[in-house]
Amino acid sequence: MGNFINTELEDFTVNAYHDGEIETVSKQDLLGHWSVVFFYPADFTFVCPTELGDLADHYAEFKDADAEVYSVSEDTEFVHKAWAEATDTIAKVKYPMLADPAGKLARFFGVLDEEAGLAFRGVFIIDPDGKIKSYTINDNGIGRNAEEILRTLEAAKFVREHGDKVCPANWHPGEDTIAPSLDLVGKI
């Protein structure tokens, strides 16, 4: 497995269930704004709805940060639709739910469990130029936290806008950052 940092997205087009409609999503749709690509194993499961619901609860904050959230599983757009219609938690999802039944996206991002035919829990933060700036991959029993994904997105945005400063652990917008300097070595 290689390092994905600064890897540019490859061209793709997939179907998606989005706010009651079926649409297509391509690489071009992810350009020009920040994107959070959020892989999960499967619809109609146990941990997945807690994560998608958490993202839905924070979706306005992601939009305020000029980011779109794209959830992705190996299910079809029709299964996403059925899940949204069957489950109150998923019914509140307003971000695109991408369908990747052939595993093309999951393979590109290195999260496809080929034996199971499911994606591992991967989160990829992508800049407006289509380059990956942050990612985490969890085993399928380990759920994620939308607030931490948002915090990481905000840090990535800050670093892009202020290349001469970096964000320390637990940084949030408005807090102090660090200007790297030889004078700081061994003093933090």
| Residues known to be catalytic | 48
**C-alpha closest to that of 119 among 134, 132, 146, 137:** 137
Q: What type of residue sits at position 165?
A: K
Distance CA 146, CA 134 (A): 14
Which residues fall within 8 angstroms of residue 153, CB to CB, at 6 or more apart?
34, 36, 62, 65, 67, 125, 134
Q: Residue 145: CA atoms inside 13 Å, Cβ hemisphere, count? A: 4
Which residues fall within 8 angstroms of residue 74, CB to CB, at 6 or more apart?
41, 42, 100, 101, 103, 106, 112, 117, 118, 119
Distance CA 19, CA 96 (A): 7
**C-alpha closest to that of 175 among 167, 185, 184:** 167
